[in-house]
Amino acid sequence: MYIASLVKSLSHLMGGQYLSSTSSKPQVSPLMAAAHHVSPPSSVKQLCDSGTLSSVHNHYASRDPGAPSDIDPTLEEQIPTIDFSMLTQGTPQERSLMVRQLGQACEEWGFFMVVNHGVPEALRGAVLDAAKDFFDMEEEKKAEYLGRHVLDPIRYGTSFNSTVEDVHYWRDYLKLFVHPEFHCPAKPPNLRDILCQYTTCTRALGIELLKGIWESLDLDESYMNKAFNLEACFQVFVANFYPPCPQPELAMGLPPHSDHGLLTILHQNAIDGLHVKHGNGWVYVKPLPNSFLVNTGDHMQIVTNGRYKSVLHRAMTNGESTRMSVVTVVAPSLDTVVEPVAQLVSSERPAMYRGIKYVEFLEYQQGNKLREKAVLELLRV
């Protein structure tokens, strides 16, 4: 009965429709079903390519242009950096140091940069180029991959969930389930091989980072991998396309939100636009050369019983250049019930979150409006 009450609570909180989870098969809400009978919204890229765009339509206006800046420039130099080579190939002393720094980054920031990660720079560039090739295809070809349900393994769309949003976001996306089963569009033809290599590399990177995180909490690696079935971990790849916006002071790429998985690994082109919340301020993130940006997700917060918190972040627009990012999320297997691990629960620190199947959490979050940590907060005991 708890799941049913959770769904109702979520629907009330989100102010929209919700998805049923009474079956293992994806259930399409009435609102999503209606999407079969209406024309899909224009992509942001299509709007920009029309050549007639000089201002932002009201349904993209999500910011107050008169609001004071909430960026804290003093925090930029404090973003933690993890040397991956020291974590995996260093001396015992170097690894111990990186494990401590990794734990500190997860506890204090929920965000860090990873350098010396071993993923070839040519591959990182190739995956951005291949993703751009997809977004550059004609709308009719991309429309073959328009998602009808949030659990579709191949899903192209615009904003976050345009079927339930009152305000849209200045972003087109391609979302692909790539593990344990690999899904990829047939077009462009170069995407599949590049994506397979890239997601294999980033999955291995994520698993190694998780090993260090478990170690920082004195948790047994084999127990954690078995508990969350990480050999069959769920991995999703997301390509984000943020074209130039004629009024960037009004529109956002994505609003403040946390991610659903354990770890999110982000790589972007040369255009910045990611902001991360730290304390009471926001940090304008400027990645180090050849680095990955990594943040902890909601399920890391659940698993660690609140020791390591998911971080709020947002994507901003600009008026000059297209920003692109590619994201891979490493998460428990879809059928895993995720709850605080017993070793981190005590009488002094009782369990803070109820357990929930990962697939149900994912469906709730992706099927509704994107609002900070709304779904996570519903699980709080």
Residue ranges per structural domain of the chain: 2-52+74-378
Residues 189, 192, 193, 198, CA torsion sign: positive
Output the pLDDT for position 28. Answer: 35
Task: Tell me the pLDDT band of 147, cut-offs 50, 70 and 90.
Answer: confident
Mean pLDDT across the chain, nearest whole number?
Answer: 89
% of the chain beyond a pLDDT of 70? 89
Tokens linked to 55: 């201002």
Q: Say if residues 238 and 266 touch (Cβ distance below 8 Å).
A: no
The percent of residues in the chain predicted with pLDDT above 90, rounded, is 76
Taken in order 252, 255, 256, 258, the sign of the CA dihedral is negative
pLDDT classification of 8: cutoffs 50, 70, 90: very low
pLDDT of residue 148: 83
Q: Are strands 81-83 and 111-115 parallel, antiparallel or unpaired?
A: parallel
Question: Which residues make beta-bridge pairs with 235?
Answer: 179, 330
Q: Can you give the pTM of this predicted structure?
A: 0.88
Quote the CA–CA distance of 270 and 291 in Å, as a whole number: 12
3-state class of 173 per DSSP?
Answer: strand
Among 26-40, 65-79, 179-193, whose mean pLDDT is lowest?
A: 26-40
pLDDT of residue 368: 85
Q: What is the bridge-based pairing of β-strands 172-179 and 281-284?
A: unpaired
Per-residue confidence (pLDDT) for residue 42, from 0 to 100: 75
Neighbours of 349 (CB within 10 A): 12
pLDDT for res 114: 98
Report the distance separating Cα 322 and Cα 171, nearest Å. 10
Please say whether the beta carbons of 184 and 245 come within 8 A. Answer: no
What is the distance between the alpha carbons of residues 269 and 150, in angstroms, rounded to a whole number? 27
**pLDDT, tens digit, 9 for 90 and up, residues 279-334:** 999 999 999 999 999 999 999 999 999 999 999 999 999 999 999 999 999 999 99
- Chain segment 92-135, per-residue pLDDT in tens: 999 999 999 999 999 999 999 999 999 999 999 999 999 999 99
Model pLDDT, residue 369: 86
Query: What DSSP character marks residue 212?
Result: H
How do residues 34-86 score in pLDDT, each as one tens digit?
Answer: 333 334 347 999 989 988 788 988 889 989 999 999 999 999 889 999 999 99
DSSP string computed for 268-334 = E-S---EEEEETTEEEE--PPTT-EEEEE-HHHHHHTTTSS----EEEE--SSS-EEEEEEEEE--T
Mean of pLDDT values over 332-347: 95
- Annotation: CATH topology of 2-52+74-378: Jelly Rolls (2.60.120)
Of residues 3 and 311, more confidence is placed in 311
**201-233 tens-digit pLDDT:** 999 999 999 999 999 999 999 889 888 889 899
What b/e string do you get for 263-282 counting C-beta neighbours within 10 Å, with b at 16 or more? bbbbbbbeeebbbbbbeeeb
Residue 346, both tokens: 């005590």
Torsion sign over Cα 47, 147, 19, 232: negative
Q: What is the C-alpha separation between 302 and 228, in angstroms, rounded? A: 12
